[in-house]
Structure 1
Amino acid sequence: MDFKGKSVIITGAGKGIGRATAVLLAERGAQVVAISRGREALESLAAETGARIISADLSSPAAARAAMAQAGTCDYLVNCAGTNVLETVLEMTDEGYDTVLDINLRAALICAQEFARARIAAGGGGVIVNITSIAGHRGFDQHLCYAASKAGLEGATRVMARELGPHGIRAVALAPTVTLTELALEAWSDPAKSEPMMVRHPVGRFAGPEEVARATALMLGDDAAMVSGAVLPVDGGFLAV
């Protein structure tokens, strides 16, 4: 799938799924605009891919809007920025809630809004891919706010598809299983926790960031032109059984 002549904004591009997506799309010809908080990781990505980089703390609405303005009008948006605070229902704190929801949900909505406004001003067209999680479909211990943020983003994706479709903009959510990023390794490092989860996958393993990146590329491309408002599990069959 060739993305020559196309441009893509990727949030959370410094590491994990976001970085894997940036590398893959750059390899396939896209001009990548990478947004992330960590400057060092962004500079490493720029050296590897030629991406244009923007360092921003997306938990701040003003910073998120400024980053999108700096990114300019692009063909695609991939909302990958995400975080987690491991707290149970009884342990949830205001700080934990704000940390997770500010990044996982509000920042994604702001970036989608600014992307759509720019696309409509340019005549329409474009694709938004929101990276969610199977945690929005199944209950996992200590994932209260994370699950709420991802389920919320899936609901928002359906609204985006409905309202932006007349402007030629598609919106799709990808719901990966446990993906072996830095964030997931922290959450699933205990074998007593990870092994019972792994055996629930028909394919017998967790996902790699590159596998989610390839599914993202598929949804961005013209072969998925009739896919909008959908949630695509990238989960090795986890949600099917």
Structure 2
Amino acid sequence: MEIAFKGKRILVTGAGQGIGRGIAIELWRAGANIVAVSRTKSHLETLHGEYPSIDIVELDIADWDKTRQVIDSLGPFDALVNNAAVAICEPFLECSPNDFDRTFDINVKAVLNISQVVAKKMIEKNIHGSIVNISSQASKAALKDHAIYSASKAALDALTRAMALELGPKGIRVNAVNPTVIMTEMAKVGWSDPARANEMKAKIPLGRFGEVSEVVNAVVFLLSDRSSMISGVELPIDGGFLAT
């Protein structure tokens, strides 16, 4: 199945490394004009050095007002990938207000903020766009030391459904993908210990963690016209973890 985005403008947050970087590159290869957002300048510079036609924007999306101003200045987009996230892993009894606020500011509040700006421009320009939010299997199943992270991703799933409901009549589709562990730098925070990693893999029928490309492929499909009747879904990419 060939999927092309020639002439389409797509915004990808958290695009400096990991899943976001993979998504930005694959969409670029499919012909899209990519704007990559990250708060880490060095990651953006590396991406731009390899793919000079990808536009880069250094931005801390936890800053509501600045983010709104910057995203608005970028003009209209045909699609959006809300990938930027933080993972603070700690036991439930040790969760702090600061960690809660930081996690929700990035994983939920920033998604609301950026999506509002992008969706309003889609509506103004009569663009039948697509938005994909990167969630997690942690929104669907309890994972040790993931209380705040899991709560934030569950909130993101709920936000995805609400967005799909309200933006659908405007011709905008909104979906989420819910990957299992993908061994990016962020995932290593919670899964670098071999004993813990093996315990998780034992619960996955396919017996392994996922690859970045396996998330990227699902996102590309959901952004494309090939999924034109799919909206409001939360798609597990988990090797069967949630089926057990």
Where does residue 113 of structure 1 map in the other structure?
A: 116
**What is the Cα deviation at residue 155 of structure 1?**
0.4
Range that drifts further, 38-47 or 6-15: 38-47
Where does residue 82 of structure 2 map in the other structure?
A: 79
Q: Which runs of 5+ in 1 are unaligned?
A: none
* Aligned counterpart in structure 1 of residue 36 of structure 2, from 25, 34, 37: 34
Residue by residue over 1:100-122, the C-alpha shift from the partner in whole angstroms, topping out at 9 and shown as x without a partner, is 11100100111111111110111
C-alpha contact 1:126 1:168 (8 A) present in aligned 2: yes
Q: Is residue 60 of structure 2 the alignment partner of residue 54 of structure 1?
A: no
Distance 1:113 1:200 in 2: 37
C-alpha contact 2:5 2:30 (8 A) present in aligned 1: yes
Amino acid paired to 2:165: R
Amino acid paired to 2:41: R
Q: So what's the TM-score if we normalise by structure 2?
A: 0.96
Distance 1:43 1:78 in 2: 20
Where does residue 125 of structure 1 map in the other structure?
A: 128
Distance 2:50 2:128 in 1: 29
Q: 1:237 to 1:132 in 2, by over 3 A?
A: same
Aligned-pair Cα RMSD in Å: 0.9
* Aligned counterpart in structure 2 of residue 188 of structure 1, from 191, 198, 215: 191
Distance 2:209 2:230 in 1: 25
Distance 1:53 1:131 in 2: 20
Where does residue 24 of structure 2 map in the other structure?
A: 22
Distance 1:205 1:66 in 2: 42
Amino acid paired to 1:38: T
**What is the Cα deviation at residue 236 of structure 1?**
1.1
Distance 1:71 1:88 in 2: 40
* Aligned counterpart in structure 1 of residue 237 of structure 2, from 231, 234, 237: 234
Where does residue 154 of structure 2 map in the other structure?
A: 151
Distance 1:204 1:162 in 2: 36
Where does residue 2 of structure 1 map in the other structure?
A: 4
Residue by residue over 1:56-84, the C-alpha shift from the partner in whole angstroms, topping out at 9 and shown as x without a partner, is 00111112212311322110000000011
* Aligned counterpart in structure 2 of residue 222 of structure 1, from 211, 222, 225: 225
Amino acid paired to 1:151: A
**What is the Cα deviation at residue 190 of structure 1?**
0.7
Q: So what's the TM-score if we normalise by structure 1?
A: 0.98
Residue by residue over 1:108-167, the C-alpha shift from the partner in whole angstroms, topping out at 9 and shown as x without a partner, is 111111111110111131001000000001111111111111000100111111100111
The percentage of counterpart residues that share the same residue type is 43
Distance 1:9 1:176 in 2: 20
Q: Is residue 93 of structure 2 the alignment partner of residue 90 of structure 1?
A: yes
Amino acid paired to 1:236: G
Q: Which runs of 5+ in 2 are unaligned?
A: none
